[in-house]
Structure 1
């Protein structure tokens, strides 16, 4: 048995598959049910996939980058893995819960670690009504879309849409518009983490909208409710000095 029972997950990328083969043999990989820690080999998208798949398992996840950006990943190395795991710093993040009502009356519940986004699905801009905790805050937003991002996801799609970077532990969510036409200069809002966001699609038949939670999409939505889900805890391990909080700070000075 290894010093620490480790399960390895790898993306389909050839470099990740080769890394899994080498590391599994070197560190005597165990089934995920027996693992004290899970090592994910891939990029950020694969890390999100791994966190979703293992959310019912108590073991934390330590990522090693076999992808491109690797914001949620540590540097890949084959040596000294046990020592790195022993020294790793743990971050705990909570996902968002999306409840979407589709045009056919069906309800869809999905979880998102990064963000929940609503995107126009036709040629015309979307028209959205935004309510926070039951109070209408914006009667009509004409835009290509809008999203609600967690601090962990604030450097992803949210940042590309010119949303703010949120420090881990800040207790806030980012509500960000994409290509807002009216109000033209509205860039979004910072919301308390406990806020319940409801977005209603106006003129939905003429201006269809899709909702997406970390790649899980629902087409032709009529309304979406978004809230933080504190009962779900995703444990992520980082090498000392390279945790999420440090990376979020770094991103603001590049």
Structure 2
């Protein structure tokens, strides 16, 4: 029977079905995009009302095979398990249109960033740290070593105690402000008195660490705390 069917009609039917399929797919993609945009706005308003650049919200796109019907009333959103807030969680999306109710769950990822100092280039062990080596950058909070200070005073002028790759979150523990063999200032202080003398570092130390140093005047070995660059503080 198909042999006698005019080819032009066959081609027309194929064209119509193809066009309808593409149109339906495009329409579904647009509806999905509207839904995703709505979820993103809702979560942003909930977890980041001040629009801080330190918090980023990303809604996970839906599989394009999931059919989403157009809702004739505004969609409603609800964050699930709000007391158990985690980095990724589901958001309930509901269409409460009369006679056309539906709901689905959309996954959302919230990432919090904090400021930290990172290296702008690779730094070799023993290399002097300068301002060009470091910059302040936003890093995912879960990846940040919160024990690392963000003060450049604990870094600049010191030397790297290990090889550091570009983009590494650098902290006081990665730099010796006083390195073994350095000529240093020993600051001996009490509540009402301060004496400053020259010394030599017996050990390497980062900011705030306790190390041994030699008083060059007396050849006496004492223990002090690393303060500013090439300065060690000793209590009288």
TM-score (norm 1): 0.22
Greater helix percent: which structure?
A: 2
More strand by share: 1
Q: TM-score, normalised by structure 2?
A: 0.23
Q: Which has the higher contact order (CA 8 A, sep 6+)?
A: 1
Highest Rg: 1 or 2? 2
